[in-house]
Amino acid sequence: MLLKSSGFKPNSEMPPKFTCDGENVNPLIEIREVPPEAKSLALIMDDPDATRGTPWDHWTLWNIDPKTQYISEDNIPFGAILGKNSFGKSRYGGPCPPKGSAPHRYVFTLYALDAVLKISEGSESEALRRAMEGHILATAELIGMYLRK
């Protein structure tokens, strides 16, 4: 599978528009080469550089139609379910590392699944990860960077 964005190049700085210093909207995400046997997709965006080494969840979505080729900017695909991020909200929460810290990585991981997940809207990523166990057909990753000035 392939995962990319027209909003930023892989392993490069994400524009402030997609962060807490800007409009705090999700970037356009492009999805390609999903396995034909996939029944749904899930997406987790997290910050593995968060304090104390625990990834900070910024965005979780699941039960995305496997035919989805784009997740539009500031939008989620019809029928997708939003999970709760580490900010305690069921929405996208853009990069917002502490001022003065080194640049943080923001990892968008897409999962192709052989099932439609039966977990409640607003569930946290831990529940999503448990529900995906044994159902992952393929993954793709896109990393953006951000440093607050």
Residue position matching structure tokens 């896109």:
142
Upper half-sphere CA count for residue 136 (Cβ side, 13 Å): 15
pLDDT category at 100 given cuts 50, 70, 90 is confident
Amino acid occupying residue 32: R
Which pLDDT does position 52 carry in this prediction?
A: 73
* Phi, psi for residue 56 in degrees, rounded to 5: -105, 120
Decide: 111 and 136 in contact? Cβ < 8 Å: yes
State both tokens at 121.
């809207």
pTM for the complete prediction?
Answer: 0.96
Q: Which domains does the chain have, with CATH numbers?
A: 2-146 (3.90.280.10)
Check whether 56 has a pLDDT greater than 90: yes
Q: Percent of the chain having pLDDT more than 90? A: 91
Which pLDDT does position 53 carry in this prediction?
A: 73
d(CA 93, CA 128): 17
Write down the H helix ranges in 5-114.
Answer: none
Which pLDDT does position 50 carry in this prediction?
A: 85
CB neighbourhood size of 83 (10 A): 24
* Phi, psi for residue 41 in degrees, rounded to 5: -125, 155
Mean pLDDT of the chain: 95
pLDDT digits (tens, 9 = 90+) for 109-147: 999 999 999 999 999 999 999 999 999 999 999 999 999
